[in-house]
Chain A
């Protein structure tokens, strides 16, 4: 009896300390997330009038959303462009980081050095450095012109010419070539994903591979029958991370437009509306895709 009460004491203490430990998050979430979230949702349905002493919010119904979709000339184009880019790049990043992690997990001379280079983009291509070339509008415009008039041949260009003229699956090829051309983008943005995959590869018990070796498995079979299922939960994690990361990149043009509208034009209602549209679409994509992926994920412990 006495022992049980004591245990309950400990349990209770644990519950209390659980709350205490997570208190910073709870507070921060309530103050800096929930409140602004609802406020910005409300603002997206209204016009915000900023004056000297404060700001007034005048309800305006769906006007901002109408403006975003029907009146604003850029928004639709930027939105479809960015989402299309996301849909193409995300699978490419996942595949690239998976195979890079497999290679980087092997033992070879200079592995540490190669790893160091692969993770360099995590530092060197984050935040401002990624977007700095785009920040000068004049520069960006001229670069586009130069790129268009540039007749220098590239290997992918040549192969593309050959394949396209042969007339097989032109559209499908174009997507592939877009990915190949953008391989630098892909490599640069898959640093964290490689780290996550690597850490997952470490958790696979080596006894599994030994057993497979004894049974006479080939390396190819081992990859698909052991490695792939064992780190399949990480595909989900990486998938979500990649999409989210893509939204927050500083060269994301939709975000750039939203920020511009907010800071330069001081049009809070309109920028909130655009942010919400983008956010909802992204949430929808994440929700649907992770539901599909989670069907195929294999959990070893359960």
Chain B
């Protein structure tokens, strides 16, 4: 006997799973099994993918703690037998870690800030104002994204090696200025939106600003806000997620960048450059200091290179752990229309 006060759903809830299954001619059971099957498949797939991505890092961590003899021991695979920190000491020595780290932090931070500040301005300009030649200029942005920097690197290299503005310096001192050994050219390029992946940031900013409702701005104009003030007071706070994302990407890519650092930041000790030379340094070290004419063995080189790589990415990893939301969630949840 069902109580009259009970609603229909409560009646439904009281039925057992099998009763409900019978009522639906077995459809319910099929559906539940199918859902569980999909869930298991997805979990397996994701686990496999995650493992595949993480495995090289885990492997690097493992061998970075191994003493040299463990590397040749075929029984030792993941867990080091002779736990040692010597590799880290050696790698830090080869990279002059303290100095490089400081330089890298300073350069990455300043360049990223400059780059994002400029790209935000430009992106906003493209998104919100109509002016003649806008389409042509935007096509240029696409061109900047598409042209590999290597194509113009030769010319830029010479340009900064013998820097001159309309022959003024040559007339004054008899020699052009060599800007190649200074940081200035790279800052100038970043300020001119020609730095590392600047085109991409402009593009993302533009797509973001295009989706912000126009009414926000119009209300500000009606209330007597100027264009610049509107941008700073209304639009920038709105753009916080994309700003953080772009800033973090810029910072991280600058940190690991090798092309621009090699071409323009020649004599500043940066982690990325130091890391690329670590193998040769180790070889030289083994040959001269340890007196082994054969040089460093393959396994040992691999071990030291892995250790160095870990040391370079650990700061980034820590940053990623704390700012994971800023990196990914913000950009993928804003729903930028392309």
Contact status A248-B259, CB under 8 Å = yes
Partner of B192, one of A29, A198, A237, A279: A29
Within 8 A of B (CB), among A1-47: 10, 13-15, 17-22, 24-29, 31-33, 35-37, 39-40, 43
Q: Which residues of B contact A263 (CB under 8 A)?
A: 262-263
Report how many residues on chain A are interfacial, defined by Cβ distance under 8 Å.
Answer: 95
- Residues on B facing A (Cβ under 8 Å): 39, 42-43, 45-46, 49-50, 52-54, 56-57, 118, 121-122, 124-126, 128-132, 134, 137, 140-141, 143-159, 161-162, 175-176, 188-189, 191-194, 200, 202, 221, 227-228, 249, 252-253, 255-259, 262-263, 272-273, 275-280, 283, 295, 298, 301-302, 305, 308-309, 312-313, 316-317, 320, 324, 327-329, 331-338
Most chain A C-beta atoms within 10 Å of own C-beta, residue among B188, B202, B255, B256? B256
- The A interface, classified by DSSP as helix, strand, loop or mixed, is helix
Contact status A127-B338, CB under 8 Å = no
Closest A residue to B245 by beta carbon equals: A195
Q: CB of A288 within 8 A of chain B?
A: no
The stretch of A73-81, A132-140, A162-170 in contact with B is A132-140
Partner of B189, one of A32, A136, A282: A32
Contact status A37-B152, CB under 8 Å = yes
Contact status A237-B193, CB under 8 Å = no
User: In whole Å, how far is A94's beta carbon from the nearest beta carbon of chain B?
Assistant: 14
Most chain A C-beta atoms within 10 Å of own C-beta, residue among B49, B162, B255? B49
A263, B278: Cα distance in complex, Å: 19
Q: Which residues of A contact B126 (CB under 8 A)?
A: 21-22
User: In whole Å, how far is B61's beta carbon from the nearest beta carbon of chain A?
Assistant: 12
Q: CB of A177 within 8 A of chain B?
A: no
A50, B154: Cα distance in complex, Å: 12
Task: Please name 14 pairs of A and B residues whose Cβ atoms are closer than 8 Å in the assembled complex, sorted by A.
Answer: A18-B129, A18-B130, A18-B131, A28-B193, A31-B192, A116-B320, A117-B53, A117-B54, A120-B54, A129-B313, A187-B49, A188-B53, A196-B338, A272-B151
Contact status B122-A21, CB under 8 Å = yes
Contact status B52-A18, CB under 8 Å = no
Most chain A C-beta atoms within 10 Å of own C-beta, residue among B144, B189, B202, B227? B227
A64, B308: Cα distance in complex, Å: 39
Q: A24-B121, A36-B152, A136-B280 are in contact. Are A187 and B259 (CB under 8 A)?
A: no
Q: Which residues of B contact A17 (CB under 8 A)?
A: 125, 129, 227-228
Q: CB of A228 within 8 A of chain B?
A: no
Partner of B155, one of A24, A39, A258, A286: A39
Contact status B320-A286, CB under 8 Å = no
Contact status A262-B157, CB under 8 Å = yes
User: In whole Å, how far is A111's beta carbon from the nearest beta carbon of chain B?
Assistant: 9
Q: CB of A54 within 8 A of chain B?
A: yes
Q: A248-B148, A248-B259 are in contact. Are A120 and B320 (CB under 8 A)?
A: yes
A78, B262: Cα distance in complex, Å: 22
Q: CB of A83 within 8 A of chain B?
A: no
Contact status A129-B194, CB under 8 Å = no
Q: A18-B129, A18-B134, A244-B145 are in contact. Are A123 and B313 (CB under 8 A)?
A: yes
